[in-house]
Structure 1
Amino acid sequence: MNLQDSPCNDLLYLCFNQDNACFAGGTNTGFFAYNCEPFTETTRKNFSSGGIGIIEMCYRTNILALVGGGKVPRYPRNKVMMWDDVNNRCIGELSFPSDVRAVKLRRDMVVVVLDRDIYIYNFQDLKLLENRRTIVNTKGLCALCPHTNHRVMAFPGKERGLINVELFDIQRQVIIPAHESELMALALNYDGTMVASASERGTLIRVFSTASGNMLHELRRGAERAIIHSICINPSSTYLACSSDKGTIHVFSLMDEDRNDVKDSLQRNSNPLASSSSETDTQRLERTELSSSRSGNVTNKPISSGVSVSTGQGSFLSEGQQQSLSSTFGVFFKSVLPKYFASRWSIAQFRVPETRMICAFGSQKNSLIIIGADGSFYKVLFDPQKSTECEKVKYFKFLSAEEADVH
């Protein structure tokens, strides 16, 4: 999570490592890394001058990838420095013609993301292997599968809303038309068989097969637009979680047999368009009557027989206009709303302060680790059998009082 565009303290960057067992952060004065369970600081480096705008761990090894950032960058923003944290020195560097937007690591690959290019290097000798062209990608979107035997990468395509999946082991590329609008977040599951994405609208998260490009799940975060800060999938690919600027962490089931009956029931009870669970969405909508009241004029007609629209002045539209609008609204209610209710809703939620957060599944069963731009660390548990709030079991602050001060 890159925080350089809207810093609220000394923190410039936050990320989990490949197995979510650790997290690291870059600051205006250096970098740090913590173990998640148990929560302990594993390293902290304060430079005499200069900040780290991007940091990427390589599992739990002593090798880190660093890019300068902040008020006074420690290194140029167009260079990736390979840092040996045991010997406290740089052991290699990569230079580029423009600013680096993200770095992703595997034990065999170094992936560097620029505005419109992705460069792939061999980890051992930093030799360039391949490069890929993308649409403008200032957010640095790119996901790299951490599985030892599966080399899979997902990144934005050359057109808006497209995802390119690179299957290196079989030398195949799959192009997925995931969204109509610009991509906002990307994530691969552990073995690289699924890719999840969200667009700039932030209402839906879609999960696709990386082999076929077919959509496997459509998950609804909510009805209002939101900025998705992170998406993660647990190691067994049975649950997905996301964080957004709405201040709620959502957990979804990816199991086919779980159709989220509890949430569907809550939606039906809270929405006047929903009724008996034995009816289909279309039948429900056709049976429902719409009521509208303006200036003492009330219309109340079934959707199937047409919709009357009040002008608010005691007069109505012409019969031809009514028929046109009736057709338009009929198509909308019969085609769009059933899809709205058909999307899977979250099975658990956790409210956090409205600061930027990223999340990952913890080592304990049904647990989430959440870290935020305000220096907060949460461990929460969720019950997949109940649609309820997650239980907070641990909370720490990983920024010192000085680092957390608002500038």
Structure 2
Amino acid sequence: MVAFSSATSTPRAKLEPNPDASDPTRLPTISNLSFNQDRDCFAVATDLGFRVYTCDPFRLAFRREFFSGGGVALVRMLDTSQIFAIAGRGPDPTSPPNKVMIWDDHLSLGVHDMPFRSEVRGLKLRHDRIVVVLKHKIVVCDFLHPKATQEILTAENPKGLCDVSQSPGPMVLACPGLHKGEVRVENHGLKRNKVIMAHDSSLACLGLTQDGRYLATASTKGTLVRVFSTSDGTLLHEVRRGAERAEIYSLAFSNTGQWLAVSSDKGTVHVFKVKVDSGSMENDGSCGTSEGGAHNLSGVSSLSFIKGVLPKYFSSEWSVAKFHLPEGLQHIVAFGKRKNTIMILGMDGSFYRCQFDPVKGGEMTQLECHNFLKPEETS
């Protein structure tokens, strides 16, 4: 098991301010972006430290710029509290890439250090768990007394793919399995795990609903997104992002699980209506087709009589709404608290709030746009 060192009894020294942050012309470089558990806020990891913004209304809540040796690689908020999990960018000893620090911003110090033998690739937080993603392993830790309670071996996971449920109750965790295209689902409530053969190609992205009942996955081909039941691994729905290969950056369900947002390097955010009534689906609980194939799902059976005539991708369901962004730039998405709204964060410091029409669909309406690295830039 992984060893941890606690600084509760012997508090860490307060970290010194980052001298680079005193230069008003020096804009930080973004390392990572993440929404908190209920999407009220988002955190920005930079080479100077980290920042927190509220989503609605959009504003800077605070920023901490104290790592002078490379900054912050990953930062995750615990709800709207002042507790954060931070992984550094190195090479400074105060911010190595193989250590997770639990930062109490109220006390302005680190209260726990969790060193690992390899670089931290991803982080997830719940009120009761800290989940640390390494290249070939997931480490689940107890939050109140940070120590490893479970280790899960995975296939090579350079992107740090992992997601956890956020609703009250036992945790559901999804991560890559041991083989290409597999997803392993750990259901702590049912006290069992399920391996889902999601794709023929390697995984590129995955996301859970808040309650952990449903899982969305995409592969490195980036053409199809599949939705599964986490309780038994049944394929419930399949939608098509496009016909060309793409890199999927983000998959996000709405709070009700009715909608799914997808961002990719093609510069488009798509919103799909999710059909999870497995009684209306005709499948045997497995994928059954390759990435280029199509399942006979509800809503597409009318095309069955010309399957042999049209290309197979016409049999897949397409998005209800979309929004166009600069192509090639990484964005992450989340559903907002306002009705039928999407929030989009870009690695260039962009924040968009958009609204989609669930009936008419089509192009989303941009409600607001900000550059959070240059707060004066707003439209």
**TM-score clears 0.5:** yes
Instruction: Indicate the residue corresponding to 1:45 in structure 2.
Output: 64
Any idea what the Cα deviations from partners look like across 1:67-110, whole Å, max 9, x if unmatched? 11167685111100000111111000111111110111100001
CA distance in 2, matches of 1:70, 1:204: 37
Say yes or no: does 1:111 pair with 2:85.
no
CA distance in 2, matches of 1:231, 1:158: 22
**1:389–1:117 distance in 2 versus 1, CA, 3 Å:** same
- Alignment map for 1:204-243 (pairs within 5 Å): 204-243=224-263
**1:351–1:72 distance in 2 versus 1, CA, 3 Å:** farther
Instruction: Indicate the residue corresponding to 2:271 in structure 1.
Output: 251
**1:196–1:279 distance in 2 versus 1, CA, 3 Å:** closer
Shift of 1:284: 2.9
Instruction: Indicate the residue corresponding to 1:30 in structure 2.
Output: 49
Show structure 1 runs of 4+ deviating over 2 A. 70-74, 277-286
CA distance in 2, matches of 1:14, 1:54: 8
CA distance in 1, matches of 2:261, 2:206: 12
Match of 1:343 among 304, 312, 316: 316
| Alignment length (residue pairs) | 328
Query: How large is the Cα RMSD of the aligned pairs?
Result: 2.2
- Alignment map for 1:210-359 (pairs within 5 Å): 210-255=230-275, 280-284=302-306, 337-338=311-312, 340-354=313-327, 355-359=329-333
CA distance in 1, matches of 2:43, 2:301: 50
What TM-score does the superposition give when structure 1 sets the normalisation length? 0.77
Could you say what secondary structure the match of 2:216 adopts? Answer: strand
Q: Which has the higher helix share?
A: 1
CA distance in 2, matches of 1:256, 1:176: 17
CA distance in 2, matches of 1:73, 1:399: 27
The answer (yes or no) to whether the contact 1:9–1:374 under 8 Å persists in 2 is: no
- 5+ residue gaps, structure 2: 1-26, 281-298
Match of 2:347 among 373, 376, 391: 373
Shift of 1:115: 0.6
Structure index of larger Rg:
1
CA distance in 1, matches of 2:302, 2:270: 26
**1:357–1:278 distance in 2 versus 1, CA, 3 Å:** closer
2:249 maps to a residue whose letter is: H
**1:401–1:211 distance in 2 versus 1, CA, 3 Å:** closer
2:303 maps to a residue whose letter is: D
Instruction: Indicate the residue corresponding to 1:385 in structure 2.
Output: 359
Could you say what secondary structure the match of 2:189 adopts? Answer: helix
**1:383–1:92 distance in 2 versus 1, CA, 3 Å:** same
Instruction: Indicate the residue corresponding to 2:164 in structure 1.
Output: 144
Shift of 1:176: 0.4
Instruction: Indicate the residue corresponding to 2:110 in structure 1.
Output: 90
CA distance in 2, matches of 1:278, 1:165: 29
1:21 maps to a residue whose letter is: D
What TM-score does the superposition give when structure 2 sets the normalisation length? 0.82
Instruction: Indicate the residue corresponding to 1:56 in structure 2.
Output: 76
Shift of 1:400: 3.0
2:68 maps to a residue whose letter is: S
Shift of 1:154: 0.2
**1:152–1:285 distance in 2 versus 1, CA, 3 Å:** closer
CA distance in 2, matches of 1:280, 1:352: 33
Instruction: Indicate the residue corresponding to 2:153 in structure 1.
Output: 133
